[in-house]
Structure 1
């Protein structure tokens, strides 16, 4: 049985963030039992995907090729400091804040708790 009952993210309702903006939220961790020497890490990832066809389907000697371009524009991580060497069972809340780099394009973001052990 796992010690983690649930991981919830409390985020603003904004889905798109322009260059240079910031996001604040909370990671809410619900534990069914005590974690000893836990590491809680939060990652912010901003990815871009583009897909387009190449070729002319009207000409029978050309094939249509679908090209895909993927890029990671933002990759930041934050480790939360745990005051004691354990987290007791129950609900624990961790506040986080990320600032987007000025060179990143506006993008949809996905926030995820990447590591809890």
Structure 2
């Protein structure tokens, strides 16, 4: 055997086969991990979109309730300005308080339903 043959390093075929099998396993494991990561990212994105949509609806409802309540208060104040006597002031006040209590109860119920739906949407498992 001359120097060139001794210096040349050859990997036996069995070791090459084992290395190739190891690389194939590593590649498959990486591809599986990547697929799982992509699915997880898509799920998070979907839930984020649902949360954003629900937050937008909740905010819209809250702003709508505030607008209605401010308009009712302004209407009440205007009626008070035009009241002719204390009896009319008391009647207007009673009507306003009763109407607002009813409105607050309805708004709280509606708001509760929207928040419950939002929580269920975000917690719902993705198929």
TM, length-normalised to structure 2: 0.19
Query: Which structure shows the higher strand fraction?
Result: 1
- Calculate the TM-score normalised by the size of structure 1: 0.20
Larger relative helix fraction: 2
